[in-house]
Amino acid sequence: MNFKEGEVLFFNKPLGWTSFKVVGHARYHICRRMKVKKLKVGHAGTLDPLATGVMIVCTGKATKRIEEFQYHTKEYIATIQLGATTPSYDLEHEIDATYPTEHITREMVEETLKQFLGEIHQVPPVFSACKVDGKRAYDLARKGEEVELKPKLLVIDELELLECDLVKMEIKIRVVCSKGTYIRALARDIGEALHSGAHLTGLVRTRVGEVKLEDCLDPLTFAEWIDRQEIEITEDN
């Protein structure tokens, strides 16, 4: 392997890790193995700390391919709690409001999901990395400032109801979508369409392009993995 010339690694991001931490962890162990102090490493698509799953990490000259990977279709399995909302649309914040759910049926959920297939306009979450006048939306939101984000056009290719527990008022869905889709915002919009609030309680990115979970390395065992690899080191010109 030649990390300076460029390698593409696939990781299964652990729960609670930031995408930045995955990149830093990979960089540290690659540099340790190569006995170098620095190496260009980047990722192709952020995952929230509360999400797990496929993350593509590029090194050296392969970082030029990051944009290419970002445009690959992504697949997620999302767990959504109906009847309550949070400011971030997930478990990062406490519940701020509850809503009636007695009217919700499985048939109603299935019909509602059909509304989100194809091209849709989605307003990103205020607690997101979207930029407003050069500043990150989440930085402004955490300071209590008003954040107004414009709807973005995106595509949802597939949306399948996997589970529907009307006792817990929890649904599980499989989503295949384009770059820029916020599954947290989709949970919010599904809740609104059901005339009840909703928020995301679990998220796994199961695929990016052709890369699946089973193709991924575990960051927790990456140190042992890289120590077993044959490393080629190219001298700088």
Domain spans, the chain: 5-69+211-226, 72-206
**Equal CATH topology for 5-69+211-226 and 72-206:** yes
- What global pTM score does this model have? 0.91
Q: What is the fold, at CATH topology level, of the domain defined by 5-69+211-226?
A: Pseudouridine synthase (3.30.2350)
* Pairwise CA distance, residues 231 & 237, whole Å: 19
Do 90 and 212 form a contact (C-beta atoms < 8 A)?
no
Domain 72-206 has CATH 1.10.10.10: no
* Pairwise CA distance, residues 153 & 90, whole Å: 22
pLDDT band at residue 129 under the 50/70/90 scheme: low
pLDDT at residue 225, rounded to an integer: 96
Tell me the average pLDDT across 90-118. 96
Find, among 112, 120, 117, the residue nearest to 198 by Cα: 112
Q: 35-87 pLDDT, tens per residue?
A: 999 999 999 988 989 999 999 999 999 999 999 999 999 999 999 999 999 99
Cα Dmax for the chain: 69
pLDDT at residue 236, rounded to an integer: 58
Q: Which residues are catalytic?
A: 48
pLDDT at residue 237, rounded to an integer: 42
pLDDT at residue 235, rounded to an integer: 67
Tell me the average pLDDT across 154-179. 96
Q: 187-218 pLDDT, tens per residue?
A: 999 999 999 999 999 999 999 999 999 999 99
End-to-end CA distance of the chain: 19
